[in-house]
Structure formats: structure tokens, C-alpha cells
Amino acid sequence: KYYPPDFDPAKIPKLKLPKDRQYVVRLMAPFNMRCKTCGEYIYKGKKFNARKETVQNEVYLGLPIFRFYIKCTRCLAEITFKTDPENTDYTMEHGATRNFQAEKLLEEEEKRMQKEREEEELNNPMKVLENRTKDSKLEMEVLENLQELKELNQRQANVDFEAMLKQYKELEEEQKRKEQE
């Protein structure tokens, strides 16, 4: 490109874009959902041409939150969802319902059980001792199982196939000699 000697980039006017500008992006559905108008199932990983915008007045620890607009594959109804950086997930806004997620419920249940255990341990020192003994017993069982597996692997690893084949050949040769005699 040719830039004349009197070119000044500061004189180029800045492009004023609106804050709520929408971009067209290609994305995959982040979770299974069902359209509210026609009942069509939209599975995780289905590709869409979506409109993306930054949500105004919503940030999480300095991270902007984005809203996506997609259309149902059957009835073309608009479905919107936004990013949820707090839970590293997406939240459904409207147009569809999010389908059941077993993994998410399992994680929440695990967190809840851990919280209950910690609260119980704070209030009851005997419970702390009981939990420690349970944990140590479990750890001992795991170590025993691991030791058994190691021994089993060593037994299998000590088999010398070459020696076995040599012994088998010697037996065959001895049998041939006996037959010949």
C-alpha cells in the first residue's frame, strides 16, 4: 500500500459503533433444549447462525456477559440464552426450556454433601474422628487392592514365553527320539 508523505492517521475519523451492536456468529447449541412453541428438540452440538450481543450493565468479575439469539429449526421461533461465567455454563432466557442434566445435578448433590459434612464436623468433634477413621479404612482398602493388582501383574509379567517354548521344543525332540528308538 502507498502512504503519501503528508498522511496523518490521527486525521481519520473514528468509527462510532453502538454499544449494543449485534454480530452474526456461528455457534453450537451449548445444551439440549426444547422449543416452547412447537416442541422441537434441539440437541447439544447443533450448529446455528446466531446473533451475539454484549448484555448491558451485566458483568461478572470484569468478564462481559453475552446474549445469543438463535432460531428454532422447525418453527423459526426465536430462542435466547446468555453466558453464565459464574457457573461456567449458559442460562436459558426464553423461547425454549432446558432439558434435564444429570451431570449438573450430580455435581450439585456432591457439593451439598461436602458442605453438610463440613458443617457437621464443625459442630461435632466425634464426627470428625469418625470421618477420619472411615477415610483411613477406605484408603487402606484401596492400597490393599492396589497391592493385589501389582502382585497379579508381576506374576503375569514373570512368565517367560521364550523359556516355555524352548522347554516345549525339548519335549517334542525327546518324544521324536523315543519314537525313532
Cell of 168: 516345549
Map residue 69 onto helix, strand or coil.
strand
Mean pLDDT of the chain: 90
Residue-wise pLDDT for 77-116, tens only, equals: 999 999 999 988 899 999 999 887 767 788 889 999 989 8
Residue type, 105: L
Q: Quick check: 125 pLDDT over 90?
A: no
Residue-wise pLDDT for 127-165, tens only, equals: 888 888 999 999 999 999 999 998 888 877 766 778 888
Q: What are 90's strand-pairing partners?
A: 83
Q: Quick check: 173 pLDDT over 90?
A: yes
Domain residue spans of the chain: 22-98, 107-157
Map residue 157 onto helix, strand or coil.
helix
What are the backbone dihedrals phi and psi of residue 50, each rounded to the nearest 5 degrees, phi first? Answer: -120, 160
